[in-house]
Amino acid sequence: LPLQGAGFLSPRSSVNLDGIMAGPASETETPARWRVSPVDAVEGEVTVPGDKSISHRALLLGAIAEGLTEIEGFLESEDCLRTLEALRSMGVRIQQEGEQSVRVRGGGLFSLQAPSAPLDLGNSGTAMRLLIGLLSWQKFDATLVGDASLMKRPMERVALPLRMMGARIETREGTPPVIVRGWDRLRGIPYKSPMASAQVKSALLLAGLRASGETRITEPSTSRDHTERMLKAFGVPLRHDGTTIAVKPVQRLRGTRIDVPADFSSAAFFLVGGSIARSGTLRLRNVGMNPTRTGLLEILSAMGADIAVEGLSTHGPEPVADLVVRPASLRGIEVPLELVPRAIDEFPAFFIAAACAEGPSILRGAEELRVKETDRIAVMSRGLTALGVRHRVLPDGMLIEGRKAGGPVFSGGTVDSGGDHRVAMAFAMASLQSSAPIEVLNTANVATSFPGFAELARSCGFELEES
Ligand code: S3P
């Protein structure tokens, strides 16, 4: 069996990679589909669910903090519940109180216990990569697996630098299953990450909490900084210098209260929908406005979108605002390279906006899209082709021709999301400029990030039937 980092395999260890397969029945295998019929207007006031990135982090830091961490606005999605269950299986006491309220009773840095079975992280790359960092200095072995999609995603991007810090981590040819061996003698390193990735940065920051000396991560450009903001809220000092962030070992984290804003990445679909609709005004309440996340807002504004930011509040670690979106004539855009990491999850929705814009749009420098829940360039391209949108695939992005004057942009037809939540939701938006219904296949995984999407979409005017 070809292994990365297998030099550490101990012959006496009870944990090894042989025979470990994908976790139980993956959500991508659940047949579920939507039929979204053309409508002209979206209208109303909605609150999309809590931020996924922040919800994961609040659980992880709460678990190793001392005392109570109260999380309000928690995203009860399949991805975040995977993190929650993984922590519970390591002995962390977590109570779910009401829909979006979670209490974590942290027992300190070394309170986690060895799990009795592999940790199944479902579809969630964030859960897996951040947990690898957190487990890299625990005293027990743990094995991490996921669904069919996650089992194909690259893990060496975190395993490699963590090994440089002394961690004992094995992957199978770079992908899960991942074994993290018990070991508590990490050393801080300066690490220059080849990609702007918050998951890589966060895994190293979590490892750095117990590594000797300073752990220093430099990114090519700044990725989302929720981990940094939240570590500070838990009392961990950090040092920033441009795109470098550094942490020193700590004795404790202090439990705290975390207010999770609505997820900008979930709001993004409605920013596009509200912009390409023919009429209606949509208000999205209490949306997270962390500038490392709001690249799509800048892109859409440069395309001529009519989106007002109201009541921006910068109290607390994460800024929030209401976003009010109205229909507008969009113009094609060449996406500025520096915006790519700040809009990385929003490109499926962006491609739909670009198809509705006048003039061509081009996205480059987004090769990371190829290793998301699906290869989002390939899967979006197949869907755009099925709906009659002229475009060209690039190795690191896409060129989209833009609308012809008059008529509908999308022909109607059937698109397969490939089990990718964001692809499915992006194509639902296309119904606002379609001449016939759009069938979206493989929609079950929308619950990984946006439970209740179909209902919420219907509440603001979409004609979306589930089957
Ligand atoms: C995330 C980071 C991003 C993003 C993902 C969530 C996070 O991934 O695409 O949806 O919560 O840290 P990368 O770190 O791979 O860019």
Q: Is the CB of 126 under 6 A from ligand 1?
A: yes
Which residue type, as a one-letter code, is found at position 30? T
306 noted as active-site residue: no
Give the pLDDT band of residue 404 (cuts 50, 70, 90).
confident
What's the pLDDT at 30? 55
Using a 6 Å cutoff on CB, does residue 198 contact ligand 1?
Answer: yes
In ligand 1, the atom with minimum distance to the C-alpha of 53 is: 11
**pLDDT at res. 378:** 98
What angle do helix axes 421-429 and 264-276 make, rounded to 10 degrees? 20
% the chain with pLDDT above 90: 91
Ligand 1 within 6 A of 53 CB? yes
- Choosing from 224, 376, 422 the residue with most ligand 1 atoms within 8 A of its CB, the one to mutate for a pocket test is 224
Higher pLDDT, 183 or 99: 183
Which pLDDT value is given to residue 2? 42
pLDDT number for residue 31:
60
What mean pLDDT comes out for the span 227-237?
A: 98
128, amino acid identity: M
Report pLDDT for 17: 54
pLDDT at 54 > cutoff 80: yes
200 CA to centre of ligand 1 in angstroms: 9
Phi first, then psi: give them for residue 119, nearest 5 degrees: -80, 120
Q: What is the dihedral of CA 42, 47, 53, 55, to 10 degrees?
A: -150
Q: Is the CB of 202 under 6 A from ligand 1?
A: yes
Given a cut of 80, whether residue 15 has pLDDT beyond it is no
Closest CA to 409 of 463, 342, 355: 355
**Residue 14: pLDDT above 60?**
no
- Residue 130: which of 216, 29, 52 has the closest Cα? 52
Indicate the average pLDDT of the chain.
94
